[in-house]
Structure 1
Amino acid sequence: MTPVLEGADLPPGYGTVNPFVAVRGPGGAPGFLRFVAHVLDGRETRAAHTVDADDLLIHAEIRVGGSTIMVCDAKPHWVATPALLQVYVRDVDDVVGRAREAGAEVVTEPTPFHGGQRLARLRDPWGDLWWLYEYGPGSTAPSEGPDELPAWRPDPSAPPSYVHRTIDEALTAPGAG
């Protein structure tokens, strides 16, 4: 049996592997979303639209045909990254173990995440970052939420969560910050 989710095992609106684009440049992530909507008839999943404490877009999703592209504004101190890739898996612990054996660095250990999913992050030997989501019975994804912007936003005076801190550290240039 393959370790990845596919077909009916996936949450609605997602493929097994989904690209994540950190945007720098004209119009930032909102401009990128408008471009994809105009050029490719993309439709933003409003329930996923999340603005971070610094007013940058930390997460948005746009559907293009049968695929979802995830988008954020790159933080000013983040180093450029070749690719950010997200994959739905059956067993995140198993996949993290396989990745370690193949030389990947674990950025975020498997941890409970939004919607009853489990999340882990890896940096492969080529510098790409992979998000691994374990989705199963009792889990929900943003595509299953209401078509409205969420009210949740991190408290700018609180220390960052493990999930926020580990990705920020992985994308911060040495000596920055």
Structure 2
Amino acid sequence: MRIPKGFAGVSPYLFVADASDYIRFLQDAFGAAELGRSLTPDGRIANAQVQLSGTTLMISEASDGFPPSRSALYLYVDDADATTDRAVQAGAELIMEPSDMPYGDRQSGVRDPAGTIWWISQRLTDEPYF
């Protein structure tokens, strides 16, 4: 099986309204890097690849045939509190304050402008998850 560099066997693919603004949010909130994009003849994003914490997200402009999709993503970071603050400043809605969880993560939750929930987690231990 061939998988492009930067992708996993399963890679998140989001359809969002205002894809350019959404990519800017990912850059401002989480430090994402846009790898490239292809456009439709009318200039909308047909497909963009965005690198985030070693994972490539694919993003397309929503349309009648592919309406905006909502999902939840679990993002590991070095500092959950700082990343949560950055996400809120970039336009996310705080849905769960950062707190230490019994499974060894410091975690918060935000909902981004496209409706995607991000569980922002900082691993506090080297112990296995379970």
TM range (shorter): 0.3 to 0.5
Whose RCO is larger (CA < 8 A, sep 6+)? 1
Structure in which a larger fraction of residues adopt helix = 1
Structure in which a larger fraction of residues adopt strand = 2
State TM-score, norm by structure 2: 0.48
